[in-house]
Amino acid sequence: MASLLLTGMRSCSASPSWATRFGTRALGTTAQLQAQAQTKSKKSLARPGVKNIVLVEGVRTPFLLSGTTYADLMPHDLARAALKGLLQKTGVPKDAVDHIIYGTVIQEVKTSNIAREAALGAGFSDKIPAHTVTMACISSNQAMTSAVGLIAAGQCDAVVAGGVEFMSDVPIRHSRKMRKTMLSLNKAKTLGQRLSLMGSIRMAHFAPELPAVAEFSTSESMGHSADRLAAAFGVSRAEQDEFALRSHTLAQKAQDAGLLQDVLSFKVPGRDIVSKDNGIRPTSMEQLGKLKPSFVKPHGTVTAGNSSFLTDGASAVLVMSEEKALAMGFKPKAYLRDFVYVSQDPKDQLLLGPSYSTPKVLEKAGLSLNDIDVFEFHEAFAGQIMANLKAMDSDWFGQTYMGRKSKVGTPPMDKFNLWGGSLSLGHPFAATGCRLVTTVAHRLQKEGGQYGLVAACAAGGQGHAMVIEAYPQ
């Protein structure tokens, strides 16, 4: 399959101008769109007999490089901060929420149900059930759509969803042999048994098992897979660096303009107040070009500069039925409409979730690509984004892998990730989904659009997409 993909995509490689077309357009389009902020008159996606479910508010802690200001905290501290921030920003009574759902990827063993621990710490009523979900980089997407499901089924009227990731302190295990020996020691009944077991310990037993961002089914790291995917779709190093520079430049502009309204100020215990993401670093093509390949050496194209970085952060959203939200006096930000989840081959199509999920969710919603005013795609790697855009722009890929008559088409770059993305803002694995949805809601309000689309890839070859509709202003 890999050779088929490589051969097919090289045969339809884009011209050198492709980088200009998809990578560098519209560095200054946000202001233009704001000036044109008039809501377009399109049909609503409301359906007779189906509950309208709304996003009332979304918040997040600042996303920080791992090992920096949050280094001495625990994951539930960040989740608690996001939940407390949501309570303060909305003023929702602490006992008015019916359920709390949180996503996380790398579990802290002391807080296995982090949703419950964070909710209690944030001051929510102990009568509110809470559970934790995990679906790699779309974990908070899963939390949100689980909330939608509970409300649509009539089980709940108000649900808080969110996600947290804490890469500053990840579980590092003893080796399997050491764990077995320690468990046996715990069961040993006599001194002789204990001495015998202790005598069996060798130096090799002390070698730790370190966590890795790698596929269990293939043992391949996500970065290595991104490098192979970029090669298969003919994405050059320059194209990737151009897109990374675009992401950081747009994020800096959005931050300076005060557009990142979802970011909370957070007083870190024993340290300063944090109020901004700290991974936004606009640089130059020259500086990016000096970085060496991180995964496929020495000839790979994925580097630290065109990849998302290890990030600590948490996010939270308040999702309600429209009826309940209005009854409580809230002005919703957006409607949460159709969504889909997809899965592909985790070996050769690990990061192509957006290519598969985008046409499916558009078809489900009865929309076309041209109907979408705001696009927010998760940027795991610049090469992953560019490969997805090329796949969506390829008749061959659409026909061969998706069973379509023609290509999906590509999002216009003057609508795409205009406030930066995961490459620049950061990517706490389980928290990114809520950021994407909240950003779409805010951009729709700012730019006067009606429909937004979120899409993301995830480990395991999975993906997600959701259509979001602006709430009438």
C-beta atoms surrounding 469 within 10 Å: 25
* Strand duo 374-377 + 451-458: pairing: parallel
What is the CA 115 to chain-centroid distance, rounded?
Answer: 18
Structure tokens at 133: 């979900």
Which residues are marked as active site?
137, 457
Give the separation between CA 444 and CA 252, rounded to whole angstroms. 20
Give the separation between CA 290 and CA 276, rounded to whole angstroms. 28
Quickly tell me which residue has 């690509």 as its tokens: 369
Quickly tell me which residue has 């979802």 as its tokens: 262
